[in-house]
Amino acid sequence: MVVRLRLQRFGRTHSPFYRMVAADSRAPRDGKFIEIVGTYNPIATSAGIKEIRLKADRLRYWISVGAQPSDRVAWILGKFGILPPPPQRFSLQRMIPKKDRAGDK
């Protein structure tokens, strides 16, 4: 049984709220889970704060026994120092116009 750390979507239309759960990889996204290990509210409050609550000890436990985080969960855990940040998927060199790049030509 492969355990994944992933987000379960709750909330209304256009107002998502997520639970971070440890779940069997074969279970549906919003289906059965093993344990709730955090929450994530991507809608900013009036103060501009996006709320994330994590059970760091339980997250470290699940990672130590081989749970695989989804892409978004890995990004969140990288921001909070629980996992090393995932590698960037883009090249900073490609953001510079070709005529201005050093080393071309």
Rounded average pLDDT per 10-residue block, the chain, 105 residues: 91 92 89 92 88 92 93 90 80 80 64
The torsion angles phi and psi of 98, rounded to 5 degrees, stand at: -55, -35
Beta-carbon-side half-sphere exposure of residue 73 (alpha carbons within 13 Å): 25
- Alpha carbon 103 to its chain centroid, in Å, reads 36
**What is the model's pLDDT at position 100?**
83
| The length of the chain, given as a count of residues | 105
**What is the model's pLDDT at position 5?**
94
**What is the model's pLDDT at position 19?**
93
**What is the model's pLDDT at position 4?**
94
**What is the model's pLDDT at position 61?**
94
**What is the model's pLDDT at position 37?**
95
**What is the model's pLDDT at position 64?**
93
Type of residue at 51 = E
